[in-house]
Amino acid sequence: MNVHDSERLAGLLEAAGYRRAPEGTDADVVVFNTCAVRENADNKLYGNLSHLAPRKAANPDMQIAVGGCLAQKDRESVLERAPWVDVVFGTHNIGSLPVLLERARHNKAAQVEIVEALQQFPSTLPAARESAYSAWVSISVGCNNTCTFCIVPSLRGKEVDRRPGDVLAEVQSLVDQGVLEVTLLGQNVNAYGVSFADPDQPRDRGAFARLLRACGRIEGLERVRFTSPHPAEFTDDVIEAMAETPNVCPTLHMPLQSGSDRILRAMRRSYRAERFLGILERVRATIPHAAITTDLIVGFPGETEEDFQATLDVVARARFASAFTFQYSKRPGTPAAEFADQVPKEVVTERYQRLLELQERISLEENRAQIGREVEVLVATGEGRKDAATARMSGRARDGRLVHFRPGELEIRPGDVITTTVTGAAPHHLIADGPVLTHRRTRAGDAHAVGQRPRTGVGLGMPGIGAPRQESTGCGR
């Protein structure tokens, strides 16, 4: 979500006349889009700001802005800790950035603007997309859940859903510009439909499944992904829509967090381990070969060895293709940070290692089972760190697995689509060292080759939140 917000910040600044500073040059404006979910976000931010302090001292016209979740959380204290910052803005008003920069320049004084509720659905803002072939599309922002480890609800607010027509218009606009793959984004995508921004739009529990099916009718859209669904709200109509919509990819990222029902309760996550496993069973019965991935937290306050064993058991039964595993650490401002029974760091680290070993073994076994299979790969850039040294290119299979393949003499571009056969496996990637079986040059590949990137949010006529605003927003609507 932050990555996509950064695309919007870039789009906003470009629409206001700014140009991206060439690599290796000193920029006139530096914007930090911060995240508060990961540990040490504030150390990183203030460390980076300190690095910039001498440059700012040497060139007072240079401007530094801090936005995102950490800014929403720290507010004025950003300026107390780094008084050389020019602009602080929050998660609900990213559209204000150009105006705040202008005002700070004009008034020669720092500007702090944090608001408590979403002013405008972020997708109405211009976005300068990073990829010619793959795009994020927000379907909702915020979250109505209250997981005790999570800072998101207090920083991103209650869930607000975008009208399906607006989502589909954005997807269509991206496809018209050559994009082949979209990832529908929301904190809790299968709650989509519970709180439409448009008051005329009725509450609709089946909205997400219908949205997937509607994406299936967009000609030229080859791959639809979504992240993340919440197990408590996962309904069979979504599984059916996934199975029956050919361009919806056979992949599911569904956070488990813990395999212990006691810990799930303490996390305030309302599903239980058996329900989670039941969903996986139904997904696999309907979509054979679906690659299922997850998030796991080790060492949540109060976690006993028995609770941790329950997580290992569920992980062993679930056979995830891969997992993002995290060691629990306190997030100030969340209920769990105040829980008394915090697990000692060395216990957390030791459990984390055991979980990692189990999941790595499963990932390797699941990837080895792919050897000999033919895969369709959407060729990407930046996915293979060793590509230059190994004369390979990289991309994602339809199920989301990373594939490193040999293009041979073929002139293949990021954004093109190839098929090849898997010849080797590691826990985090597949190798395809045989010949490329088919190669399709795509419009996305053409666009990538000439450095053209899709733009959205300008001229789509998408409404903001609440009553129509009288004044111009300056965003080209």
Cα–Cα distance, 122 to 383 (Å, whole number): 28
The residue with tokens 């190798």 is 431
Q: How far is the CB of 175 from ligand SF4 (least distance, A)?
A: 28
Q: Which residue from 120, 187, 311, 325 is in contact with ligand SF4, where contact means CB under 6 A?
A: 187
Stretch that binds ligand SF4, among 143-151, 359-367, 400-408, 409-417 (CB under 6 A): 143-151
Phi, psi (rounded to 5 degrees) for 403: -125, 125
Angstrom CA distances, 4 to 11, 125, 129, 441, stand at: 11, 11, 8, 26
Instruction: Return the range that interacts with ligand SF4 (CB under 6 A); candidates 97-105, 125-133, 138-146, 381-389.
Output: 138-146
The values of phi and psi at residue 7, to 5°, are: -60, -35
Q: Which CB, 91 or 442, lies closer to ligand SF4?
A: 91
Biggest alpha carbon distance in the chain?
65
Please choose, from the candidates 418, 252, 389, the residue with its C-alpha nearest in 3D space to the C-alpha of residue 405. 418
182 dihedral zone (left: phi>0; alpha: psi -120 to 50; beta): beta
Question: In this complex, which beta carbon is closest to ligand SF4, that of residue 266 or of residue 444?
Answer: 266
User: Which of these ranges, 147-155, 320-328, 332-340, 420-428, lies near ligand SF4 under the rule CB under 6 A?
Assistant: 147-155
| Residue 150 counted as an annotated binding residue | yes
- Interface with ligand SF4 (CB under 6 A), residue total 10
Does 141 bind ligand SF4 (CB under 6 A)? Our answer is no
249 is in an annotated binding site: no
Span interacting with ligand SF4, options 144-152, 161-169, 308-316, 411-419, rule CB under 6 A = 144-152
Question: Does 150 help bind ligand SF4 (rule: CB under 6 A)?
Answer: yes
153 binds ligand SF4 (CB under 6 A): yes
Per the listing, tokens 């998660």 go with 91
Q: Please state, in angstroms and rounded to a whole number, the distance separating the CA atoms of residues 93 and 456.
A: 18
Residue 148: closest CA among 309, 351, 302, 322: 302
- Nearest distance in Å: CB 369, ligand SF4: 30
We find the least distance from the C-beta atom of residue 300 to ligand SF4, in angstroms, to be: 12
Q: Using an 8 Å Cβ cutoff, are 218 and 168 in contact?
A: yes
Question: If binding is defined by CB under 6 A, does position 245 make contact with ligand SF4?
Answer: no
Q: How far is the CB of 257 from ligand SF4 (least distance, A)?
A: 8
Is 147 one of the annotated binding-site residues?
A: yes
Q: Which residue has the tokens 């001229």?
A: 459
Q: How far apart are CB 289 and ligand SF4 at their closest, in Å?
A: 27
Residue 111 as a binder of ligand SF4 (CB under 6 A): the answer is no
Place of tokens 């050897």: 371
User: What is d(CA 315, CA 450) in angstroms, rounded to the nearest whole number?
Assistant: 44
Two structure tokens written together for 291: 């690659």
- Shortest separation between residue 194's beta carbon and ligand SF4, angstroms: 13
CB distance 223 to 180 below 8 Å = yes
Q: Interacting stretch for ligand SF4, rule CB under 6 A, among 94-102, 150-158, 216-224, 383-391?
A: 150-158
Stretch of 8-16, 81-89, 141-149, 237-245 contacting ligand SF4, by CB under 6 A: 141-149
- Report the 10 Å Cβ neighbour count for 105: 15
Residue 90 bridge partners (DSSP): none
- For strand 402-405 and strand 429-432, is the pairing parallel, antiparallel, or unpaired? parallel
- Does residue number 227 form part of the binding site for ligand SF4 (CB under 6 A)? no
Closer of 92 and 230 to ligand SF4 (Cβ): 230
398 binds ligand SF4, rule: CB under 6 A: no
Q: Whose CA is closest to 150, among 69, 63, 47?
A: 69
Which segment (42-50, 146-154, 317-325, 422-430) binds ligand SF4 by CB under 6 A? Answer: 146-154
CB of 158 to ligand SF4, least distance (A): 11
Q: Would you report the helix, strand and coil content of the chain in percent, each value rounded to 5?
A: 35, 20, 45
Structure-block tokens of residue 430:
């597949």
Nearest residue (CB) to ligand SF4, 232 versus 458? 232
3-state secondary structure of 274: helix
Q: Are 101 and 86 in contact (CB under 8 A)?
A: yes
One-letter amino acid of 361: R
Exactly one of 131, 177, 188, 227 binds ligand SF4 (CB under 6 A); that residue is 188
Q: Cβ 188 to ligand SF4, closest distance in Å?
A: 5
Out of 65, 70, 143, 297, which residue is the one contacting ligand SF4 (CB under 6 A)? 143
Give me the least distance between CB of 464 and ligand SF4, in Å please: 23
Assess 335 for contact with ligand SF4 (CB under 6 A): no
Helix pair angle (164-176, 207-215), 10° resolution: 20
Tokens 């290119």: give the residue: 393
| DSSP letter (8 states) at residue 195 | S
Q: Does 152 interact with ligand SF4 (rule: CB under 6 A)? A: yes
Q: Closest CB to ligand SF4 among 187 and 370?
A: 187
Tell me which of 230, 331, 401, 439 binds ligand SF4, using CB under 6 A: 230
Q: Detail the residues annotated as belonging to a binding site.
A: 143, 147, 150
User: Residue numbers of the site for ligand SF4 (CB under 6 A)?
Assistant: 143, 145-147, 150, 152-153, 187-188, 230
Q: Detail the residues annotated as belonging to a binding site for [4Fe-4S] cluster.
A: 143, 147, 150
